[in-house]
Amino acid sequence: MNALHQYLFDTYRAAQLGEPMPPAPGTRDVAVLRAVRDRRRFERVAAGRPARGGLRTALRRWWHPRAT
């Protein structure tokens, strides 16, 4: 059973019981990703690191390791 099947079952059950319909699958995906991004930025600022550029810095370190 995939997410669409589960959604259809939940919708049918909600209609039979007079409950509010559940949100469609994928409705809140963008909001969840934004919340995760904001939380990571907050944690970086709270730790005293720059709020932006963490991914770019990590990739630069991975692609161009320092010769020791």
45/49 Cα distance (integer angstroms): 5
Token pair in block for residue 14:
């909600």
40/54 Cα distance (integer angstroms): 10
The whole-model pTM stands at 0.54
pLDDT tens across the length of the chain (68 residues):
888 899 999 999 999 999 999 988 888 899 999 999 999 989 989 998 877 777 787 888 888 877 55
Per-residue pLDDT at 68: 52
Token pair in block for residue 15:
């209609």
Ramachandran region, residue 28 (left: φ > 0; alpha: ψ -120 to 50; beta: rest): alpha
Per-residue pLDDT at 52: 78
